[in-house]
Structure 1
Amino acid sequence: MEKVLVVGSLNMDFAVYMERRPQAGETVMAQGMKLVPGGKGANQAYALGKLGAKTAMIGAVGDDTFGQQMLDNLEYVSVDTAGIKQIAGVETGKAFIEIEVSGQNSISVIAGANAAVDEELVLEQEELFAQADAVVMQLEIPVPSVIAAARLAKKHGKVVVLDPAPARADLPDELWAQVDITKPNETELALLTGLPTGTEEEVVTAAQALIAKGVKNVLVTLGGDGTLLVTAEQVEKFPAYKVKAVDTTAAGDCFLASFMSRFTGSNFAEAIDFGAKASAIAVTRQGAQTSIPTVEEVENFN
């Protein structure tokens, strides 16, 4: 995809690093904290830009310091931010992330300006849809806006990609019917379908339930167990790369963006492998956008 439009969220991440996350009522000493630009939409736009895809983004930030930092960071990797609205008197979205030494994390999100990404804001950027080859969306902005974006992308004959996170069970069939590619992990897939995903066979069955709703291709990321591609015609598994994880924040965002940076419309094996390499590198680094590798790093990874 030479030109990709991302419609989604922008958050400033407050990343706290600790030995383990506290239990209810417990206090745990942390080793440190970093402020890192994040948000699923911004992470994917940043990764696409850094990996060489011509990228634009639609979203919203506040008129605060964090909002300007988010815009500056995207523009640093040549992302077109003209579709990102700065809203007066509103705070930029924030995410509070507790990260264990194992790399696993827990995330709490305050929507802030992301809640203002309404259908009107999406529709007034129709020219960006017309210029793109693919439109990538997530679920950290209002669902009606995601549906409007999918509908507008289809109107212009674009590839529609949905990262269904944070996952929810009430997504309408109208949205699924417009999706060409979706990328849940096994936990998200269970929430989306109401079906168990404890085994690989169950994952395939749940993915096929999305196919039945009209989705053309389901990419299920299984962490260290690789990625499953499920379509109406096939099921194929692709391996992951074994690394020591430091921070898994934005690993899925990195995978999807790097996959899209190489995807031509049919070369799933090549694009998935590129995504697997990029996300393997990302989890060995701290932070969201700070963990994204360069094209050269991915191509030289083995």
Structure 2
Amino acid sequence: MGASKILVIGSINMDLVLRVPYIPQVGETLLGSSVERIPGGKGANQAVTAAKLGANVSMLGKVGGDEFGIPLIDNLRQAGVHADRIDLVPAASSGLAVIQVNDEGDNSIVVLAGANDLCSKDYILDHEELIKEAEIVILQMEIPHEAVYQAIDLANKHRKTVLLNPAPAPDFIPDAILGKLDYLIPNETELQKLSGQPVDSIAAAEDAAKVLLSKGVSNLIITLGSNGSLYVSANGAVHVPARAVKAVDTTAAGDSFVAAFAVGLSEGKSVQEAIAFATKVSSIVVTKAGAQTSIPNRSEVDALA
């Protein structure tokens, strides 16, 4: 049996990480100590994770004709992602995140959407056959929302398993869209925004999740950082604790969790088994610096008890 097909539709960025002694104030010039170029973007992070875990992964997204566009596509290919349908838009700049990190590890981030903003409904419609060929479709919200909703409509039409990671969280998602999702995977902040309820404890997260269940969501998996995750469905709630590790950098922890969960499902694992697998993967990611640079391969995950 070949690896099942996962399609990731979403953002592709280059992260420029500047190391600074502290975050500068308005009008201040500061000397940084280093700069790194690290491929990122929630969509690309998820595609790379799924590919490194052994899945058969394709990606839809757009990059620009600047110096970052081709390296971003090459990076996806090197990770094993099928990138033939990614559009390179000559007149656009690639998505860019400029990240300042201080000596304490705190950061400030400016994101330029660039070519990600050109992912239109028409681009999605032009690649309907890729959705039809997939078994699982993963989406986030760093491309225009109308394109995300179009992809959800098509995936639902072709009876695919649909995962939405609502990040960054919009003010609301139409109920008609929520009802077409198999899994909604927010973090606490995103759940709070979408439910309109405070999420300051595991019990509060369960209550907030029930608001979204009432709007038509089938299954919610809320990522709770060091508190693990919470799986909520019509059958009740199950809390899955995090693995105890020393976190160095939480970048891409959420993205890796979403992708690893999808890989688990694609391999026939139960929801709880897939969550346990995703928990293991994200626990490795937080022990390393960077986004895609911190994502483990399958042998590294399988070696963990």
Does structure 1 residue 276 correspond to structure 2 residue 243? no
What's the offset of the Cα at 1:24? 6.5
| Residues 1-302 of structure 1: pairs in structure 2 closer than 5 A | 2-18=4-20, 21=23, 30-100=32-102, 105-264=107-266, 267-302=270-305
What's the offset of the Cα at 1:33? 2.4
Q: Percent identity?
A: 44
Question: What whole-Å deviation, never above 9, does each CA across 1:178-212 have from its counterpart, x for those lacking one?
Answer: 11111111111111121100122111111111111
Determine helix, strand or coil for the equivalent of 2:169.
Answer: coil
Question: What whole-Å deviation, never above 9, does each CA across 1:19-41 have from its counterpart, x for those lacking one?
Answer: 65456777776543211000000
Determine helix, strand or coil for the equivalent of 1:269.
Answer: helix
Q: Is the 8 A contact 1:130 1:156 kept in 2?
A: yes
* Change in CA separation of 1:91 and 1:100 when aligned onto 2, cut-off 3 Å: same
Determine helix, strand or coil for the equivalent of 1:263.
Answer: helix
* Change in CA separation of 1:64 and 1:221 when aligned onto 2, cut-off 3 Å: same
- The residue identity in structure 2 corresponding to 1:289 is Q
Q: Distance in 1 between matches of 2:269 and 2:289?
A: 33
Question: What whole-Å deviation, never above 9, does each CA across 1:41-61 have from its counterpart, x for those lacking one?
Answer: 011011111111000111100
Q: Which residues of structure 2 form unaligned runs of 5+?
A: none
Q: Distance in 1 between matches of 2:172 and 2:120?
A: 19
Q: How many residues matched?
A: 302
- The residue identity in structure 2 corresponding to 1:275 is A
Q: Distance in 1 between matches of 2:275 and 2:73?
A: 29
TM-score by length of 2: 0.93
Question: What whole-Å deviation, never above 9, does each CA across 1:83-128 have from its counterpart, x for those lacking one?
Answer: 2111121000001223456655443211000000000000100111
Q: Which residues of structure 1 form unaligned runs of 5+?
A: none
Determine helix, strand or coil for the equivalent of 1:270.
Answer: helix
Determine helix, strand or coil for the equivalent of 1:290.
Answer: helix
Q: Distance in 2 between matches of 1:295 and 1:144?
A: 34
> Which 10-residue stretch deviates more, 128-137 or 257-266?
257-266
- The residue identity in structure 1 corresponding to 2:295 is I
Determine helix, strand or coil for the equivalent of 1:230.
Answer: strand
Q: Is the 8 A contact 1:14 1:35 kept in 2?
A: yes
Determine helix, strand or coil for the equivalent of 2:85.
Answer: strand
> Which 10-residue stretch deviates more, 25-34 or 142-151?
25-34
Q: Distance in 1 between matches of 2:271 and 2:110?
A: 33
* Change in CA separation of 1:102 and 1:47 when aligned onto 2, cut-off 3 Å: farther
Determine helix, strand or coil for the equivalent of 2:80.
Answer: coil
Q: Is the 8 A contact 1:105 1:248 kept in 2?
A: no
* Change in CA separation of 1:154 and 1:110 when aligned onto 2, cut-off 3 Å: same
* Change in CA separation of 1:2 and 1:18 when aligned onto 2, cut-off 3 Å: farther
Question: What whole-Å deviation, never above 9, does each CA across 1:193-234 have from its counterpart, x for those lacking one?
Answer: 211001221111111111111111111111111100000111
